[in-house]
Amino acid sequence: MNNNIDRITKGLAEACKECILVAYNDPSAKKTILRGGGSSGGIMTRLLMPRPISKLRISEDALKLCLEYDVAPYDRFILTGSGEFKKKYPNLPNFFSSNAKTLAKCHEKGHFLTADHNVPNKVMLEQMFELCEKNPAADVLEYKKILNEQSYDLITLEENQKIDKAGLKSAGTKEKRDAQCSKKIDFVDLWLTPQDVIEKFFNITKLNKAECLDPCACDGRWLGEQGYSYDILPMKKHVVKKDFLTMTKSELPVQVKTIVGNIPFSLLREFVNKGLELVEDCYFLVSGDTIFRYFPNNIEHLYIFSGLEGNQKDNRSRCEFDVPFLIKSALWCCIVHLTRKTQPSWNVKANLTNAERRDGHHVALGKNVFVETDCEVDKDPRITRIPVKSSIVYKGGKKIKNADGTYKDINAGWN
């Protein structure tokens, strides 16, 4: 689970426990707390309704509609700013919501999908009251466990209608509600690379997208309509449904020279091994400390992310990803150029002093994992910066000034 969501969930669990401990012997207070209705309902349902949830699912029928209309389902969460969704999908601005009352009117407006909690907030609160009545001293983690059973699902309007007709709008178990829908698919490892990072990477490397293959493309954002975008769960029309980990050389398109992309960190070794089995060169966005642990002699070049936090005294390589609900979430990571050919060793360090972290000769790849360079990081021929957000340049723990007295920006020269 994402750490930020985990902290928020724990805080809500503490708030729920506190309220229920006060109200569980008061029928009137209990009735008020258990009132459903989502954002317009009782005080506790209003508190829980907008909460970020790490478990996201989509029904098979809902995904089919997304592919039919070429709408990325997670854009429901990520494109939150004013007009962002309408700008990306001008012909389908109401795809996920409208104020139409009937199914026919919704479809007329281009409204096909809706969001649903697989366990209604009212049901979760009932479970918390039951927990409190059985054990008033129950730990807050027991309340948190109840919250973590809930997922945020995208379903079709027809499926939502079936749930209502079955009398499960604010009631019923997860199993009963899921039975009204087509099979639910979990969104797993959904950390989407920002488009500007991808474009900067290709501008720097000069790789030909038409000769690249992305093995876990999701919505195909790395290669767009060029090259070959594969995924076991495609999210856009041009992405081919294919399991990269079972591919053979005979299945590799003859045009492909390079494999690129943001691979699942949990399957890093499997993807790297398969990539180097199929081609000579791979460029993968990976967990920095993990890649040096398992493939230290396959790394030819390191592309570090700089500029995330505005105080990059230790050149830490972190990137912000598009993550549903939280929109932006940062991870320690980098893009590495991996080759079959054995490469010179990198000097990987741990437990550095603050002075060493800030001497301009170290790149932080994890909380306590660093690459040490013989020269300044910016002058090392095996390391290239990908600036991702405005940040002041530090050397030796001091800000570097321009001639006009302003401070030097890592992103200077980037649009």
DSSP letters, 158-219, are HHHHHHHHTT-TT---HHHHHTTSSPEEE--S--BPPHHHHHHHHHHH---GGGEEETT-TT
Residue 211 per-residue DSSP state: G
Q: Which residue has the tokens 């180097």?
A: 276
Q: What is the mean pLDDT of residues 118-140?
A: 92
Q: Taking CA 38 as the corner, what is the angle to CA 37 and CA 44, rounded to the nearest 5 degrees? A: 100
Higher pLDDT, 79 or 227: 227
Residue 87 predicted with pLDDT over 80: yes
Q: What is the mean pLDDT of the chain?
A: 88
The C-alpha atoms of residue 55 and residue 9 are separated, in whole angstroms, by: 12
pLDDT confidence bin for 389, thresholds 50/70/90: low
Report the b/e string of 375-399 with b at 16+ CB within 10 A. eebeeeeebbbbbbbebbbbbeeee
Q: What is the mean pLDDT of residues 266-286?
A: 97
pLDDT confidence bin for 65, thresholds 50/70/90: very high
The C-alpha atoms of residue 49 and residue 117 are separated, in whole angstroms, by: 9
Answer yes or no: are the C-beta atoms of 86 and 131 closer than 8 Å.
no
pLDDT confidence bin for 393, thresholds 50/70/90: low
The CATH H-level (homologous superfamily) assignment of domain 195-399 is Vaccinia Virus protein VP39 (3.40.50.150)
The C-alpha atoms of residue 152 and residue 166 are separated, in whole angstroms, by: 20
Cα 7 to chain centroid distance, Å, stands at: 17
The C-alpha atoms of residue 315 and residue 312 are separated, in whole angstroms, by: 5
pLDDT confidence bin for 327, thresholds 50/70/90: low
The C-alpha atoms of residue 196 and residue 186 are separated, in whole angstroms, by: 27
C-alpha dist (Å) from residue 248 to 216, 242, 276, 279: 16, 12, 12, 11
φ and ψ of 208, to 5 deg = -90, 110
pLDDT confidence bin for 131, thresholds 50/70/90: very high
Residue 224 CB-density burial (10 A; 0-12 exposed, 13-18 middle, 19+ buried): middle
Q: What is the pLDDT of residue 1?
A: 45
Residue 40 predicted with pLDDT over 60: no
Q: What is the pLDDT of residue 415?
A: 40
Q: What is the mean pLDDT of residues 344-350?
A: 93
Q: What is the pLDDT of residue 319?
A: 86
Q: What is the pLDDT of residue 312?
A: 54
Q: For CA atoms 163, 165, 169, 170, give the dihedral sign.
A: negative
Residue 217 CB-density burial (10 A; 0-12 exposed, 13-18 middle, 19+ buried): buried
Residue 335 predicted with pLDDT over 70: yes
For the whole model, what pTM was predicted?
0.85
Q: What is the mean pLDDT of residues 357-383?
A: 89
The C-alpha atoms of residue 213 and residue 195 are separated, in whole angstroms, by: 17
pLDDT confidence bin for 31, thresholds 50/70/90: confident
- 286, two tokens: 């990976």
Residue 47 predicted with pLDDT over 60: yes
- Tell how strand 113-117 and strand 152-156 pair up: antiparallel
Q: What is the pLDDT of residue 375?
A: 92
φ and ψ of 301, to 5 deg = -145, 150
Q: Which residue has the tokens 């070794």?
A: 269
Report the b/e string of 278-292 with b at 16+ CB within 10 A. bbebbbbbbbbbbbb
Q: What is the mean pLDDT of residues 50-54?
A: 85
The C-alpha atoms of residue 90 and residue 12 are separated, in whole angstroms, by: 37
Per-residue pLDDT tens digits for 205-218: 999 999 999 999 99
Q: What is the mean pLDDT of residues 272-291?
A: 96
Answer yes or no: are the C-beta atoms of 10 and 52 closer than 8 Å.
no
pLDDT confidence bin for 328, thresholds 50/70/90: low
Answer yes or no: are the C-beta atoms of 292 and 299 closer than 8 Å.
yes
H, E, C per residue of 339-402 = ECCCCCCCEEEECCCHHHHCCCCEEEEECCEEEECCCCHHHCCCEEEEECCCCECEECCEECEC
Residue 36 predicted with pLDDT over 70: no
Listed by start position, the domains of the chain span: 3-186, 195-399
Residue 413 CB-density burial (10 A; 0-12 exposed, 13-18 middle, 19+ buried): exposed
- 60, two tokens: 């098979």
- Tell how strand 184-186 and strand 56-59 pair up: antiparallel
Residue 414 predicted with pLDDT over 50: no
Residue 294 contacts by C-beta under 8 Å, 6 or more apart in sequence? 268, 269, 272
